[in-house]
Chain A
Amino acid sequence: MSRLPVTKTPKPYVGGAFIRSESGRTYPLADAAGAFFAHLPQCTRKDLRNAVEAAAKAGPGWAKRTAYNRGQILYRLAEMLEARAEEMTAVLVRFGVARAAAAREVAAAVDRLVYYAGWADKYEQVLGNVNPVASPHFNFTVTEPMGIVGVVAPDAPSLLGLVSLVAPVIVSGNTVVALASEATPYPAVLLGEMLATSDLPGGVVNLLTGFRRELVPTFATHAHLRALNAAVGPEDAKALRLGAADSIKRVRIAGAAKPADWLSAREESVYAIRDFLEFKTTWHPIGA
């Protein structure tokens, strides 16, 4: 007896749930061979707004976790991805990445998560400071997460690019609203399924699928987003910077100076964590 095929409806991961676009819109996605793959939600600025609300709800609880616990959870996410590495590699291959390159990309994504998981309870020692002052004060600088950060993933590498932009942001207690690669959004959908099983509280990472031209203006102007971490071309970068100026948000464009070499260890750094921190300096009086 032949079985009816059971096909998956790809749905992005927002607020701890798998959603459809509030608009009901979808768009057909073809694989590298040109064959129909699935319909994906074409998220709108309202979906972005809803995702920001979800991130806002999750933020305080996430930031309050101990650094050690955030590290554990990021490491757990790496475990989830490692366990489903075969499936993820096959997906990347289906969307046009050569098999060897796809396997390298998945391994690099796992390693990148582990790298930032390790930093979780260490960056504070490196970035914070006790400052010498010429008065009877104990003067020290500590870091705090900024809040909700918008991420615009590069078209390729669709998985490694997204992971490289998200991990350094959430490790310090920020929350993320991310737009998946427009060319190859499905790996991000699959990553969402791993996020859901990784002990990461719902709403800390929110993934949207859709078109950059529709969503970049809202990423730029939404005042509740405190910073943007994007891997986009000069035109989108300009739109993001212009829009961000109004609400004075920080913009970090990956690969702006020279093209990003995502696989390289140069793309992982404590300074990527620093870019999404606020620094607070305290003057504490000490007795004579």
Chain B
Amino acid sequence: MLAKSSSAALRRLFDAVGPVDAVGIEERVAKYGTRSIKKNAKLWGLKTAVSMVDLTTLEGKDTPGKVASLCRKAVQPHDADLDVPRVAAVCVYPAMVRHARRALGTGTGVKIASVATAFPSGQAPLETRLAEVRAAVADGADEIDMVINRGAFLAGEFAAVQDEIAAVVEACGPAALKVILEVSELETYDNIRAASFLALQVIRPGDFIKTSTGKTSLNATLGNNQVMIDAIRDHYLDTGIAIGMKPAGGIRTAKQALTFLVAVKETLGDAWLTNTRYRFGASSLLNDLLRQLAKEKSGAYQAPYYFSEAAESY
């Protein structure tokens, strides 16, 4: 009985949002890597990517000291003579938000993002999850990264998923929200598109949808990213509401980051090439971006140990 009603609900949702041409998506994203980005365009792309990084540490062994050094790196990623921008945000666990706030102070422009809602599984009572969001915002988080209830989604309880997202939007108050779909657990492109729309329909302009927690085997890929930015484009053309995008996990090299930016430019346009609408959830990516920037400046390939150690999580 449950299976029947859930499959009917699934069909209705898919009818509304339309299917994804999986082969077409793979075909299209395979081409993004072939764009030739050199010299000034590359320099611009690398610096833009730095400004879009959510510098992340999400580990059980995080300490206030580690978060503080992450914050220092966020404010000044490298020697001043490299002329790199600050990153967009630091991303930490709720318990670390107040330490991050103390380390960052105010006025640096670097935001504090906190994962909440029983990250990464989302398997906690709704009240607990909402309380976690409120606590993080009260401690000074500018942005909240929530996970959707994948169990409910896969069971076909879409209204429940959407209501929960709406409840978190309310709990966020002034803080921006990033909705993590955890694409690796959604299994198909059709599901990713459907889940994207569930989120897009209830979040506010300036909020984001995000691929993954970084805690599963498969994370942000160009294909997943493409399905989600296609959904953002379709939603924008329908409603005029501009939602941001954050791929997270698995983006480790500058070259990958540039390819993602190509996808954004060719799907959403220049208006999304800013850190108010596009972010990279990453930790080791920043060092590779800096390494390539230093290479562009000096002409010599750089050794990785010239750059400060990255946080080890995704």
Contacts and interface: CB of A to CB of B under 8 A. Distances in A.
B169 to A, nearest CB: 43
B106 to A, nearest CB: 38
Interface residues on A, range: 10 to 19
Contacts of A101: none
Interface residues of B, number: 7
B300 A222 contact: yes
B299 interface: yes
Contact of B302 (A56, A218, A224, A243): A224
Interface in A44-61: 45, 49, 52, 56
Contacts of B306: 223
A221 B301 contact: yes
A115 B292 CA distance: 41
B304 interface: yes
A221 B299 contact: yes
Nearest to A52: B301
A52 B302 CA distance: 11
A246 B306 CA distance: 13
B1 interface: no
B3 interface: no
A222 B301 CA distance: 5
Interface in B88-145: none
A288 B268 CA distance: 74
Contacts of B304: 56, 224
Contacts of B300: 221-223, 243, 246-247
A219 B167 CA distance: 58
Contacts of B303: 223-224, 247
A243 B300 CA distance: 9
Q: Chain A binding site: helix, strand, loop or mixed by DSSP?
A: helix
B142 to A, nearest CB: 36
B176 to A, nearest CB: 36
Nearest to A224: B303
Nearest to B253: A53
Contacts of B299: 221
Contacts of A45: 301
B64 to A, nearest CB: 30
A28 B299 CA distance: 30
A218 B301 CA distance: 8
B151 to A, nearest CB: 38
Interface string A153-176: 000000000000000000000000
User: Which of B300, B302, B306 has the most chain A CB atoms inside 10 A of its CB?
Assistant: B300
Contacts of A56: 304
Interface string B264-305: 000000000000000000000000000000000001111110
A46 to B, nearest CB: 9
Nearest to B305: A224
A242 to B, nearest CB: 12
A222 B299 CA distance: 9
Contacts of A222: 300-301
A22 to B, nearest CB: 11
Which residue among B301, B303, B304 has the maximum number of chain A CB atoms within 10 Å of its CB?
A: B301
A243 B301 CA distance: 12
A221 B302 CA distance: 9
Nearest to A49: B301
Choose among B299, B302, B303 the residue with the greatest number of A CB atoms under 10 Å from its CB.
B303
A218 B299 CA distance: 9
Interface in A205-242: 218, 221-224
Nearest to B301: A222
A62 to B, nearest CB: 17
Interface in A243-268: 243, 246-247
A49 B300 CA distance: 10
11 contacts: A49-B301, A221-B300, A221-B301, A223-B301, A223-B302, A223-B303, A224-B301, A224-B303, A224-B304, A246-B300, A247-B303
Q: Which 5 A-B pairs have the closest CB atoms?
A: A221-B300, A224-B303, A222-B301, A223-B303, A223-B302
Interface of B: 299-304, 306
Given A221-B299, A222-B300, A223-B301, 11 more contacts: A45-B301, A49-B301, A218-B301, A221-B300, A221-B301, A222-B301, A223-B302, A223-B303, A223-B306, A224-B304, A243-B300
